Chains A and B, each alone.
Chain A
């Protein structure tokens, strides 16, 4: 290890300890466990800065924070799965003695042998860890893939296909069209007015129509078809731009959150 790396690490350790002591002393002792809370706030600040240090370049502090996050998340997920699903939902349906052991109330409907099916499938799935019996895990995996595909097929067909298509069938002249004369004499420029509604409906219609033209590859994109395709790509670009704008806002929001923590909770400057 380089000498400069050791110096940086020593400085970070000293700053960490200093922050811990100062934070713990700043917290009210009567609130209890102020040493632990001082450590937790300091450690959270250290992890925030460690992750942000990646913006400068990859470094051991970032690696540490990244590995810690992955490890803790995996362990937390496993524990949550065990205690909230296996212990709370499965065990009371399988065995009275096991339910008593884990101190969870028995299900009012009593034991149900049907619930041995997921137990067996779960054990078969774990066979993947065995070098010789790994192939057995393909059976429960096939069950998972089959049921997921079936459920998702219905889901997409209903909410993302039929519903979305039907929502593009919009009246291009608005819902209260009585002719150009009444339209101009009652021209309403407000967001809920007929003009805006009319424009919105045309944007939806043209957007969907030209977008579909762009993705139609059985005919060369030339002439009027090419114009439609060009409009379609413009619509797509505007959509991606709006999405990217929201992404920027989201990332800045996360930065705001971290600034609030670092300068508010940790340093108490803001």
Chain B
């Protein structure tokens, strides 16, 4: 059995093992991959960056731990940008495992705001993030379509209390926020089909500016909505998160993961080429054997 026949019969477990080894080694190595920012990601950054202080942005966290690696970096980069610029954030969670994700993100980002930092040449002083003043976490309710529609009437209809059990009217920032009309935009970060509902029931019915951050798997299916103007920006998977981190000058897990992406993709391409070479060579040899 020569090398080409061996390639054709290579046990897939060797591929898995090799892939994991390449990823671990590359993750441990310290080098940087340049990230090219796409206009659809830049549109979201510019929109948030130009909002006046005190404006309210809604960030639905619609993903569970399965999509954490891809979507958490987006949440961290956007929410930190919002809070550094003194914007108010309304969080919701329309996926049943999402409240834990949102709660963790809120705590972590609140902690990072306590330290003075410089982003894109601007020094931001440390500040304390206060629940009800800087943000409101609405929590989880099932059936996203119904919840999105009823939030368009009033946030208090589906969410009489916030995630921590406080009536919404008791929260200072929510006194001026009744429905989507009082928000500058909605940026849905989702690993579920809640994005479909935000586009059709939310943006389609109420017409607010909508941007989305979705997993790599579902990115391609949402590009038509970007082309039609139903969403003004889209972040696709870890690459989208890395682009946003680059724009926000706030490198995190996504930008860190780009070198692993690069090496893993190179390895996969090499395996595809090798597999095809093995296939074509063995096919040519089989034809020659038939002629003899």
Residues of A within 8 A of B (CB): 55-56, 73, 76-77, 80-81, 84-85, 88-89, 92, 104-105, 107, 151, 155-156, 158-160, 163-164, 166-167, 191-192, 204, 239, 242-243, 246-260, 263, 269-270
Contact = CB atoms under 8 A, between A and B. Distances in A.
A110 B260 CA distance: 57
B70 A250 contact: yes
B138 to A, nearest CB: 10
A85 B261 CA distance: 41
Nearest to B260: A256
Contact of A260 (B20, B66, B69, B227): B69
B239 A249 contact: yes
Interface string B1-38: 00000000000010010011001100110000000000
Interface in B208-222: 215-221
B24 A167 contact: no
Interface residues of B, number: 54
B60 interface: no
Q: Is the interface of A mostly helix, strand, loop or mixed?
A: helix
A270 B27 contact: yes
Interface centre among A166, A249, A258 (most CB of B within 10 A): A249
A175 B66 CA distance: 44
Q: Is the interface of B mostly helix, strand, loop or mixed?
A: helix
Contacts of B20: 255
A92 B261 contact: no
B257 interface: yes
A158 B200 contact: yes
A255 B264 CA distance: 10
Contacts of A73: 96-97
Given A81-B142, A252-B261, A159 B221 contact: no
Interface stretch (B50-58, B113-121, B126-134, B229-237): B229-237
B66 A255 contact: no
A164 B224 contact: yes
Given A159-B230, A252-B260, A252-B265, A259 B216 contact: no
Given A105-B167, A256-B261, A77 B96 contact: yes
Given A81-B142, A252-B261, A167 B201 contact: no
